[in-house]
């Protein structure tokens, strides 16, 4: 959203690093700069700009919190020193370099202690010690891994509490919100289940921590917004009547937590922080919800909000499942309600991981005890199961250290689940009780052995309906002017009036749910753009979404915001209450798309392409026969119900094949198989192959190009489209691919065919609204691999690249406006490249390799005059560092080695030192390209790749792998890639990207990259 033209006067799509920011400063000459709004990236960049004297040189004033204050919160040593000055406690931690000093330090810190070995991977050498004997042993071990060991006090099991604090230039200071982590200390707050406000703190605890927050923030002279995290001892009181706490950290910027706190309270922290940075005072800024009161107050909540992180660990082969001090989650959801069980079950469903709530799910927890002791995404379910199986709250508390209050609350849900009921028991009181505990119709249905639809009917006939309440920042003390709404069964009156009849000017939009691998901010952009445009056209907009990280859940982006589940049940509740003209389901990605037919069956009016067409598109068999009828080519595929047939079919079409479950369950992966053995392995590992759960096998096309078309149709006519091209060959998931627009390497004939096919499909499915089709092209033969009758991940990208807002076209199309015209999207004067952003460094153990499963967690896009320029800017934007000297080349199959020769020669020419393993080295030598020989990891000779990686001898690793690798080589490759990531060495793992990269640095030095804003292109 922030790269939208209407949000700023000038938008530069450039890397956020000191070099590029300096260039922009030089060009734009701004008076001031704000550092606290772009997360750690922006903050670090700002600190560096200041350190290099660039801000001073160009006379740029830092607005908001000053650099000196930021430094004091970022530098651990300074931080502790400053807090000592004002008698605020921080965790005791002493760095030691030998056993003797370690013993002394442990005594000082006090047993039990935690040992942390510095500079090691995966927690090697870290542990706990309860006494001198234990620590001696632990220190010996730790020093074998690392020259430095931190001795820290053991705060495991302490509560983790956070406050969001705001301070203005007149020293008015308030805490907008406090939050309590469900998981005790040890689990990163971004990985924790978090509830707001705190639930287990007494007034004394709440306000003492609040006092310390304010004292600390005043001391650091924060101006604007920040957050402060505490550890709180859950067990004891000090001699002085106080309790034991530690300040863990202060973030002198807006953070993930501030975004959450804004959604929790309705207090717009970022907006206020920006105003305060400009010198406004809290007492003069209006409360934008009540429009009667001011911003110098602390919101009072009459509801609770619960956040649960969304993990996608199953997408990453070999990744460690344990959650702890590193962020592994890719998104989060927030549920609002009026009891803990209500929000807990809501939030679990919101995750969209195939759960119906806390209980009554298909998959059963197997390893209860382990899953409670070691935090993983399964912990919550293990706790509920344990309580149902007869574990006591005390036992679970001992294993997990989770506060008993939370466990009691979970117990309420699992106790209810034990009830044995049938249809006759579904009384008003029973259903209301179930609903108050957050049970969905689906869950009640399973419990009573009745269909979900039937439960809904019974429930409605008995009058068990949710009520919709407003979030108003003041717990009803003042009337609210905005419609920021949630549903609850803990109440009997709606805050707003039900719409009496179908409202002709009101449209409901379904949002995109949590960020996850494959669905991120792109769909939020689509929804927000739709909402804004509809309002511009005079419609009232009702938005339904629950992802606290999104703009679509800002209450001022629409007329009514329902911060609610995107389940059939809740969408129907809202639809029946609001009675809009219709619902737009094509902007929020796959979640709303999946509801199409079910909503339609429940008499919901779906705007745009007919739900029947969507069904035809989603059903593989139906879609395939449509393509056959239209004489459109597609990769050969078949649904297979046993292993024998699977192997037979694979051999018939020839390996490699792509294999996946017919019904995609969460976390079940696709795989490319090269032989019978790997098909067997896959089926054993992933799918219980049977008639009910068949697998789909399709021909995997090697060496093909992948092309995407995004467009808008109206009544079966193609209105506007954009074609983008993948840099990588087919086989890399489209979400992980590097995309270029306009396409650079397509034959005219290919483009022509793509257009012809697209028109035929648009016509056949009578598309009205957005769509996306993916193609494979090889030697001018085009095959369709996928079609989606909704906006795709690339809609914001192509809209920004072509300067045609495709969403506005889609909205007009849906509303029946006449939008025919001649739109030029192939012939642009510039090139835009979108590159994926990966997070492998956070995902310990995961193999940084590209494949048919998506693994990127974000994306960037940059403009350029040429493909190389746009690509290089994009790559730098992902945080990629250009190599200085040494490049390690390990290229997979022979074809890769040959293909890369030209590039290797260029690297030679530019003066880089190439290091290569035996085969690659030999081929380079044969072609008179200089390189140095290094030994493979398993060769155990020096110079060895492993030791050189560990000593950070390489500035870049280029590694490509064969589809048909041997096991040993695979393991070697994995270790090498993983080490590169762990030692923060840039890694290129695709041949096409490697070639493009070499061409780019061959053509451009960083200083030759143009500094141009979007509207200058």
Partner 1 sequence: MAQKQKVYLRLANGKTFAGYSFGKFGNSEGEVVFTTGMTGYPESLTDPSYSGQILVFTYPLIGNYGIPQFKRDDTAKTVQDGFESGKIQVRGIIISGYSFDYSHFDATGSLHTWLLENDIPGIYGVDTRELTKTLRTTGVMLGKITTEPEGGLFEVVDPNNTNLAGMVGVKEPVIYSPRKKNPKKILLIDCGVKNNIIRNFVKRGAEVIRVPLDYDPMNSEYDFDGIFVSNGPGDPKMCTNAVENLRKSFELNKPIFGICLGSQILGLSAGADTYKLKFGHRSQNQPCIELGGHCYITSQNHGYAVDTKTLPQDWSEWFVNNNDGTNEGVKHNTKPFFAVQFHPESSPGPNDTGWLFDKFIELL
Smallest gap from Cβ 298 to partner 1, in A, equals 4
Smallest gap from Cβ 476 to partner 1, in A, equals 4
Contact 532, 557 (CB under 8 A): yes
Smallest gap from Cβ 565 to partner 1, in A, equals 19
Burial-class residue 31 by CB neighbours within 10 Å (0-12, 13-18, 19+). Answer: exposed
Closest listed residue to residue 587, CA positions, set 654, 532, 642, 669 = 532
Smallest gap from Cβ 220 to partner 1, in A, equals 18
Alpha helices in 848-990 (DSSP H): 867-877, 894-910, 918-926, 945-950, 967-982
Q: Work out whether strand 769-778 and strand 705-714 pair parallel, antiparallel, or are unpaired.
A: antiparallel
Distance between CA atoms of 900 and 325, rounded to whole angstroms? 40
What would you measure as the largest C-alpha separation in the chain, in angstroms?
A: 85
Smallest gap from Cβ 394 to partner 1, in A, equals 11
Selected range binding partner 1 among 51-59, 485-493, 565-573, 961-969, rule: CB under 8 A? 485-493
Smallest gap from Cβ 412 to partner 1, in A, equals 9
Question: Measured from the CB atom, is 7 or 300 closer to partner 1?
Answer: 300
Residue 410 within binding range of partner 1, rule CB under 8 A: no
Selected range binding partner 1 among 57-65, 142-150, 477-485, 742-750, rule: CB under 8 A? 477-485
Q: Does residue 112 have a cis peptide bond before it, meaning omega lies within 30 degrees of 0?
A: yes
Selected range binding partner 1 among 35-43, 404-412, 542-550, 785-793, rule: CB under 8 A? 404-412
Smallest gap from Cβ 225 to partner 1, in A, equals 16
Residue 202 within binding range of partner 1, rule CB under 8 A: yes
For residue 487, give both structure tokens: 């549903």
Selected range binding partner 1 among 376-384, 486-494, 689-697, 830-838, rule: CB under 8 A? 486-494
Question: Which one of residues 294, 428, 605, 663 is an interface residue with partner 1 (CB under 8 A)?
Answer: 294
Question: Which one of residues 271, 478, 655, 1002 is an interface residue with partner 1 (CB under 8 A)?
Answer: 478
Residue 297 within binding range of partner 1, rule CB under 8 A: yes
Residue 474 within binding range of partner 1, rule CB under 8 A: yes
Smallest gap from Cβ 403 to partner 1, in A, equals 6
Question: Which one of residues 145, 206, 823, 983 is an interface residue with partner 1 (CB under 8 A)?
Answer: 206
Residue 461 within binding range of partner 1, rule CB under 8 A: no
| Burial readout 832-858 (b: 16 or more C-beta within 10 A, e: otherwise) | bbbbbebbbebbbbbbbbbbbbbbbbe
Compute how many residues bind partner 1; rule: CB under 8 A.
Answer: 59
Selected range binding partner 1 among 472-480, 769-777, 840-848, 970-978, rule: CB under 8 A? 472-480
Smallest gap from Cβ 113 to partner 1, in A, equals 23
Residue 404 within binding range of partner 1, rule CB under 8 A: yes
Question: Measured from the CB atom, is 406 or 997 closer to partner 1?
Answer: 406
Question: Measured from the CB atom, is 41 or 202 closer to partner 1?
Answer: 202
Smallest gap from Cβ 267 to partner 1, in A, equals 11
Which secondary structure element, helix H or strand E, spans residue 758, and what is its range?
A: helix 748-764
Question: Which one of residues 234, 445, 511, 661 is an interface residue with partner 1 (CB under 8 A)?
Answer: 234
Question: Measured from the CB atom, is 285 or 636 closer to partner 1?
Answer: 285
* Strands annotated E in 416-572: 467-470, 484-488, 503-510, 540-545, 560-563
| Burial readout 431-446 (b: 16 or more C-beta within 10 A, e: otherwise) | bbebbbbbbbbbbbbb
Burial-class residue 241 by CB neighbours within 10 Å (0-12, 13-18, 19+). Answer: exposed
Residue 663 within binding range of partner 1, rule CB under 8 A: no
Closest listed residue to residue 381, CA positions, set 397, 363, 393 = 363
Residue 894 within binding range of partner 1, rule CB under 8 A: no
Question: Which one of residues 495, 675, 899, 955 is an interface residue with partner 1 (CB under 8 A)?
Answer: 495
DSSP string, 558-620: SSEEEE---SHHHHHHHHHHH-EEEEE-SSSTHHHHHHHHHHHHTT--B-SS-HHHHHHHHSH
Question: Measured from the CB atom, is 305 or 350 closer to partner 1?
Answer: 305
Question: Measured from the CB atom, is 132 or 302 closer to partner 1?
Answer: 302
Residue 526 within binding range of partner 1, rule CB under 8 A: no
Contact 118, 158 (CB under 8 A): no
**Hey, how many other C-beta atoms are within 10 angstroms of the C-beta on 47?**
17
Question: Which one of residues 237, 278, 894, 898 is an interface residue with partner 1 (CB under 8 A)?
Answer: 237
Site for partner 1 in 162-201 (CB under 8 A): 170-172, 174, 197-201
Residue 283 within binding range of partner 1, rule CB under 8 A: yes
Residue 235 within binding range of partner 1, rule CB under 8 A: yes
For residue 679, give both structure tokens: 């098909």
| Burial readout 795-808 (b: 16 or more C-beta within 10 A, e: otherwise) | bbbbbbbbebbbbb
For residue 474, list its beta bridge partners.
Answer: 300
Start-to-end C-alpha separation, the chain: 19
Question: Measured from the CB atom, is 102 or 411 closer to partner 1?
Answer: 411
Contact 881, 18 (CB under 8 A): no
Q: What residue has token string 């679509």?
A: 552
Smallest gap from Cβ 73 to partner 1, in A, equals 22
Question: Which one of residues 28, 141, 249, 298 is an interface residue with partner 1 (CB under 8 A)?
Answer: 298
| Burial readout 635-653 (b: 16 or more C-beta within 10 A, e: otherwise) | bebbebeebebbbebbeeb
Smallest gap from Cβ 817 to partner 1, in A, equals 42
Residue 87 within binding range of partner 1, rule CB under 8 A: no
Site for partner 1 in 950-969 (CB under 8 A): none
Q: Does residue 742 have a cis peptide bond before it, meaning omega lies within 30 degrees of 0?
A: yes
Residue 415 within binding range of partner 1, rule CB under 8 A: no
Distance between CA atoms of 434 and 414, rounded to whole angstroms? 11
| Residues in CB range of 19: below 8 A, 6 or more apart | 1006
Question: Measured from the CB atom, is 408 or 663 closer to partner 1?
Answer: 408
Smallest gap from Cβ 172 to partner 1, in A, equals 5
Selected range binding partner 1 among 23-31, 338-346, 779-787, 902-910, rule: CB under 8 A? 338-346
Residue 214 within binding range of partner 1, rule CB under 8 A: yes
Question: Which one of residues 102, 299, 713, 883 is an interface residue with partner 1 (CB under 8 A)?
Answer: 299
Q: φ and ψ at 251, to 5 degrees?
A: -105, 110
CA-angle at 429, arms to 424 and 435, nearest 5°? 100
Question: Which one of residues 58, 145, 271, 405 is an interface residue with partner 1 (CB under 8 A)?
Answer: 405
- Where on the chain is the footprint of partner 1 (CB under 8 A)? 170-172, 174, 197-204, 206-207, 210-211, 214, 234-237, 241, 282-283, 292-294, 296-304, 338-340, 393, 403-405, 408-409, 411, 467, 469, 474-479, 490-493, 495
């Amino acid at each position: 959203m922030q790269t939208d033209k209407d949000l700023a006067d000038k938008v530069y799509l450039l890397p956020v690093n000191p070099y590029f920011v300096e260039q922009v400063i030089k060009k734009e000459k701004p008076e001031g700069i704000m550092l606290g709004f772009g997360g750690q990236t922006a903050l670090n960049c700002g600190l560096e700009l200041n350190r290099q004297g660039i801000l001073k040189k160009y006379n740029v004033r830092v607005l908001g919190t000053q650099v000196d204050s930021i430094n004091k919160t970022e530098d651990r040593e300074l931080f502790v020193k400053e807090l000592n000055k004002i008698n605020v406690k921080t965790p005791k931690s002493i760095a030691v370099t030998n056993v003797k000093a370690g013993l002394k330090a442990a005594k000082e810190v006090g047993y039990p202690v935690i040992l942390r070995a510095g500079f090691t991977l995966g927690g090697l050498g870290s542990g706990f010690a309860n006494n001198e004997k234990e620590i001696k042993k632990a220190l010996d071990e730790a020093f074998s891994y690392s020259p430095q060991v931190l001795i820290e006090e053991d705060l495991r099991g302490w509560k983790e509490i956070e406050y969001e604090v705001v301070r203005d230039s007149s020293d008015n200071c308030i805490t907008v919100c406090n939050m309590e982590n469900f998981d005790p200390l040890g689990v990163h707050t971004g990985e924790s289940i978090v509830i707001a406000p705190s639930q287990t703190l007494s007034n004394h605890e709440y306000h003492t921590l609040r006092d310390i927050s304010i004292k600390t923030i005043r001391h650091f002279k924060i101006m604007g917004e920040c957050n402060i995290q505490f550890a709180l001892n859950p067990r004891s009181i000090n001699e002085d009547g106080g309790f034991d706490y530690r300040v863990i950290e202060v973030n002198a910027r807006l953070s993930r937590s501030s975004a959450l706190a804004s959604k929790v309270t309705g207090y717009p922290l970022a907006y206020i922080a920006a105003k305060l940075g400009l010198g406004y005072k809290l007492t003069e800024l209006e409360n934008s919800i009540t429009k009667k009161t001011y911003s110098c107050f602390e919101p009072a909540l009459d509801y609770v909000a619960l956040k649960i992180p969304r993990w996608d660990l199953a997408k990453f082969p070999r990744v460690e499942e344990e959650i702890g001090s590193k962020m592994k989650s890719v998104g989060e959801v927030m549920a609002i309600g009026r009891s803990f069980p209500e929000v807990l079950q809501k939030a679990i469903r919101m995750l969209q991981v195939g759960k119906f709530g806390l209980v009554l799910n298909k998959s059963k927890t197997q390893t209860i005890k382990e899953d409670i002791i070691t935090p993983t995404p399964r912990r919550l379910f293990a706790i509920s199961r344990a309580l149902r199986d007869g574990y006591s709250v005390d036992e679970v508390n001992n294993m997990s250290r989770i506060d008993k209050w939370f466990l009691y609350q979970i117990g309420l849900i699992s106790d209810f689940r034990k009830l044995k009921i049938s249809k006759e028991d579904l009384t008003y009181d029973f259903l209301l009780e179930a609903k108050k505990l957050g049970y969905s119709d689906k869950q009640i249905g399973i419990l009573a052995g009745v269909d979900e639809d039937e439960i809904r009917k019974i429930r409605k006939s008995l009058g068990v309906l949710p009520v919709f309440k407003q979030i108003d920042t003041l717990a009803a003390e003042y009337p609210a002017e905005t419609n920021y709404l949630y549903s609850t069964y803990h109440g009997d009156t709606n805050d707003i009036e039900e719409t009496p009849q179908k409202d002709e000017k009101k449209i409901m939009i379904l949002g995109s749910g949590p960020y996850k691998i494959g669905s991120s901010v792109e769909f939020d952009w689509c929804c927000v753009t739709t909402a804004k445009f509809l309002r511009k056209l005079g419609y009232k907009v009702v938005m339904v979404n629950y992802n606290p990280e999104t703009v679509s859940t800002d209450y001022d982006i629409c007329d009514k915001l329902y911060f609610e589940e995107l389940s059939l049940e809740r969408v129907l509740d809202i639809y029946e209450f609001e009675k809009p003209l219709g619902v737009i389901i094509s902007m929020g990605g796959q979640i709303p798309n999946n509801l199409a037919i079910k909503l339609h069956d429940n008499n919901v009016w779906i705007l745009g392409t007919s739900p029947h067409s969507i069904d035809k598109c989603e059903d593989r068999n139906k879609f395939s026969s449509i393509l056959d009828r239209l004489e459109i080519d597609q990769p050969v595929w078949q649904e297979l119900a046993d292993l024998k047939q699977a192997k037979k079919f694979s051999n018939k079409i020839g390996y490699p094949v792509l294999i996946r479950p017919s019904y995609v369950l969460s976390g079940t992966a696709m795989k490319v198989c090269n032989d019978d053995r790997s098909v067997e392995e896959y089926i054993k590992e992933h799918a219980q192959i049977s008639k009910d759960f068949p697998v789909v096998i399709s021909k995997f096309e090697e060496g093909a190009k992948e092309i995407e078309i995004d467009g808008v149709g109206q009544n079966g006519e193609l209105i506007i489209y954009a074609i983008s091209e993948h840099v990588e060959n087919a086989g890399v998931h489209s979400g992980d691919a590097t995309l270029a627009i306009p396409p650079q390497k397509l034959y005219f004939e290919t483009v022509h065919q793509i257009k012809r096919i697209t028109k035929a499909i648009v016509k056949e499915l009578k598309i009205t609204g957005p769509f996306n089709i993916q193609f494979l092209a090889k030697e001018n033969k085009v095959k369709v691999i996928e079609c989606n009758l909704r906006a795709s991940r690339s809609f914001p990208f192509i809209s920004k690249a072509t300067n045609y807002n495709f969403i506005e076209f889609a909205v007009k199309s849906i509303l029946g406006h006449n939008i025919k015209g001649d739109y030029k999207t192939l012939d642009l004067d510039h090139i835009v490249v979108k590159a994926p952003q990966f997070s492998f460094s956070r995902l310990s153990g995961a193999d940084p390799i590209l494949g048919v499963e998506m693994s990127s967690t974000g994306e960037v896009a940059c403009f350029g005059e040429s493909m190389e320029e746009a690509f290089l800017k994009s790559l730098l934007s992902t945080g990629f560092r250009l190599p200085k000297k040494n490049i390690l080349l390990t290229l997979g199959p022979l074809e890769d080695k040959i293909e890369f020769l030209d590039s290797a020669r260029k690297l030679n020419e530019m003066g880089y030192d190439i290091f290569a393993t035996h085969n690659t080295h030999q081929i380079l030598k044969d072609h008179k390209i200089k390189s140095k020989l290094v030994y493979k990891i398993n060769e155990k000779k020096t110079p060895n790749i492993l030791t050189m990686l560990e000593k950070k001898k390489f500035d870049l690793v280029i590694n490509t792998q064969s589809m048909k690798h041997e096991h040993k080589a695979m393991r070697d490759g994995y270790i090498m890639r993983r080490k590169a990531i762990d030692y923060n060495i840039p890694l290129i793992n695709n041949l096409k990207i490697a070639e493009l990269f070499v061409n780019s640095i061959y053509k451009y030095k960083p200083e030759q990259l143009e500094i141009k804003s979007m509207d200058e292109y």
